């Protein structure tokens, strides 16, 4: 099945966010989806994608007693690889943690469940985050490579949602709109033999992503004090975090 056929080539404009859609924004056969999500996780791993989030979690938990049970929610959890990395981190630290992944797509959640060992004890739920009302308190909310899927208006709503949902802090991890990753992903796709959808969607994702200035404007529109939020840059990605 050629999912790329008849797709317009990804286009990049430094001045504005692209409105092109990604292939994974549409239904994809579950077997193919599993291959795509596995390759996306492989690419994230090569880009040391979890490192800034684990570092953030280290900072976020510095003053939390080691035996205090914490809840961590991953929004748009995809393959579940971030949650499994957090489980490994929690085990190493000896921290009790309840881990929950939510994703808009039932197929994605099915693939994440299959890729997760029962011993990792991760809960998965299908939900649109903007309509998700957790019935239990959440300490930390994280999200990786999701916000570029949202419109400017939805990003502001999402920032407000995280402000109200996360007791101890939240972190957004996403791409920077820059021509460097836009071209680099195509090159990495060749060397790493990535699934063509990972390359296509990766390039569209970069073009849909925000610049630092746009993030600062979104934070202001959400009514969050600018000095309460840290924006860190790592390998053409931003980690935008707030700790309480």
Q: Contact positions toward ligand SAM, by CB under 6 A?
A: 40, 44, 75-78, 102-105, 108, 128-130, 144-146, 149
Q: How far is the CB of 40 from ligand SAM (least distance, A)?
A: 5
Q: How far is the CB of 201 from ligand SAM (least distance, A)?
A: 7
Q: How far is the CB of 225 from ligand SAM (least distance, A)?
A: 25
Q: 114 in the Ramachandran plot: left (φ > 0), alpha (ψ -120 to 50) or beta?
A: alpha
Q: Are 181 and 156 within 8 A, CB to CB?
A: no
211, 201, 177, 237: which is closest to 10 by C-alpha? 201
Q: Pick between residue 105 and residue 209 the one whose CB is nearest to ligand SAM.
A: 105
Q: Pick between residue 71 and residue 144 the one whose CB is nearest to ligand SAM.
A: 144
Q: How far is the CB of 13 from ligand SAM (least distance, A)?
A: 20
Q: How far is the CB of 149 from ligand SAM (least distance, A)?
A: 4
Record the tokens describing residue 166, joined without a space: 């996360």
Q: Pick between residue 13 and residue 128 the one whose CB is nearest to ligand SAM.
A: 128
The DSSP line for 81-105 is HHHHHHHHHHHHHT--EEEEEEES-
Q: Pick between residue 47 and residue 63 the one whose CB is nearest to ligand SAM.
A: 47
Q: Pick between residue 108 and residue 185 the one whose CB is nearest to ligand SAM.
A: 108
Q: Are 208 and 174 within 8 A, CB to CB?
A: no
Strand-strand pairing, 97-103 and 166-175:
unpaired
Q: How far is the CB of 96 from ligand SAM (least distance, A)?
A: 23
Nearest-CB residue to ligand SAM? Answer: 78
239, 202, 213: which is closest to 12 by C-alpha? 202
18, 30, 15, 126: which is closest to 75 by C-alpha? 126
Q: Pick between residue 164 and residue 227 the one whose CB is nearest to ligand SAM.
A: 164
């Amino acid at each position: 099945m050629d999912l790329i056929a008849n797709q317009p080539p990804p286009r990049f404009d430094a001045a504005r966010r692209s409105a092109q859609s990604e292939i994974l924004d549409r239904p994809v056969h579950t077997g193919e989806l599993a291959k795509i999500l596995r390759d996306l996780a492989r690419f994230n791993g090569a880009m040391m994608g979890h490192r800034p989030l684990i570092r953030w979690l280290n900072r976020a938990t510095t003053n939390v007693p080691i035996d205090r049970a914490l809840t961590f929610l991953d929004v748009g959890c995809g393959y579940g690889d971030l949650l499994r990395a957090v489980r490994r981190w929690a085990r190493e630290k000896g921290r009790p943690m309840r881990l929950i992944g939510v994703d808009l797509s039932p197929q994605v959640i099915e693939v994440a469940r299959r890729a997760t060992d029962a011993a990792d004890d991760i809960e998965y739920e299908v939900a649109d985050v903007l309509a998700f009302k957790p019935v239990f308190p959440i300490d930390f909310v994280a999200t990786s490579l999701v916000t570029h899927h949202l419109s400017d208006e939805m990003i502001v709503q999402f920032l407000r949602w995280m402000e109200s949902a996360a007791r101890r802090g939240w972190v957004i991890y996403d791409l920077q709109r820059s021509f460097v990753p836009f071209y680099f992903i195509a090159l990495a796709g060749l060397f790493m033999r990535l699934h063509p959808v990972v390359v296509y969607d990766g390039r569209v994702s970069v073009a849909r992503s925000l610049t630092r200035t746009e993030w600062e404007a979104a934070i202001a529109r959400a009514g969050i004090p600018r000095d309460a939020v840290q924006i860190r840059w790592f390998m053409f990605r931003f980690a935008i975090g707030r700790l309480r």
